[in-house]
Amino acid sequence: MSTIFYKVIFKGLIGDSSESYSLTFKNIIQEKLIHVPSQFFSSLKLLSQKQTNVINFQNIREVVKIGDSYTNYDFNYYIVVLYTSLSDGKKEGFLVGNLKKLGDILIGIWPFNQEDTSLSSKDFLKQLNLLTEGSKFKDISVIYS
């Protein structure tokens, strides 16, 4: 697999010294795509109504793919999920892209310099369940395009 990154550019405040900010996600698209269940985002939205440390907002300006790719997916929209672990304070996140016939799939992780980027579908779904519980993580942000 060639090295591919997704640079997600967020809208900044008007008049700010930098009117845009970005995060870079490392591509983890594998032959077997990791699907994000449709109820995951609705569960986080419900959690945001109960807990102040979970927020949902729309702020993605654009996503730029950097690097050579042997697959050319055309995503309809992107969603970024960022969170902080309560156990060690580690900040992490992932990038989801939507494909018309396949739905939401995991396409990138942040920070992009993580050693091991092989992630099984089972491990990822376990992490999604922990996120929707809200008891193991804080500062959960769901950012839509």
pLDDT tens-digit map of 114-142: 665 567 888 888 888 888 887 788 899 99
For 64, residues 6+ apart whose C-beta sits below 8 A from its C-beta are: 6, 7, 9
Share of the chain above pLDDT 90, in %: 48
pLDDT of residue 32: 86
Tell me the per-residue pLDDT of 84-121, one tens digit each, with 9 for 90 and over.
988 898 999 999 999 999 999 999 999 877 665 567 88
Least Cα distance to 19 among 79, 64, 59 occurs for 59
**Model's pTM, two decimal places?**
0.88
Tell me the per-residue pLDDT of 14-38, one tens digit each, with 9 for 90 and over.
666 666 789 999 988 878 899 999 8
104/54 Cα distance (integer angstroms): 20
State the greatest distance between any 2 C-alpha atoms of the chain, in Å, as a whole number. 44
Tell me the per-residue pLDDT of 37-63, one tens digit each, with 9 for 90 and over.
989 999 999 989 988 889 999 999 999
84/63 Cα distance (integer angstroms): 23
**3-state secondary structure at position 51:** coil
Predicted confidence band of residue 13 (pLDDT cuts 50, 70, 90): low
56/58 Cα distance (integer angstroms): 7
Asked if 137 and 84 touch (Cβ cutoff 8 Å), the reply is: yes
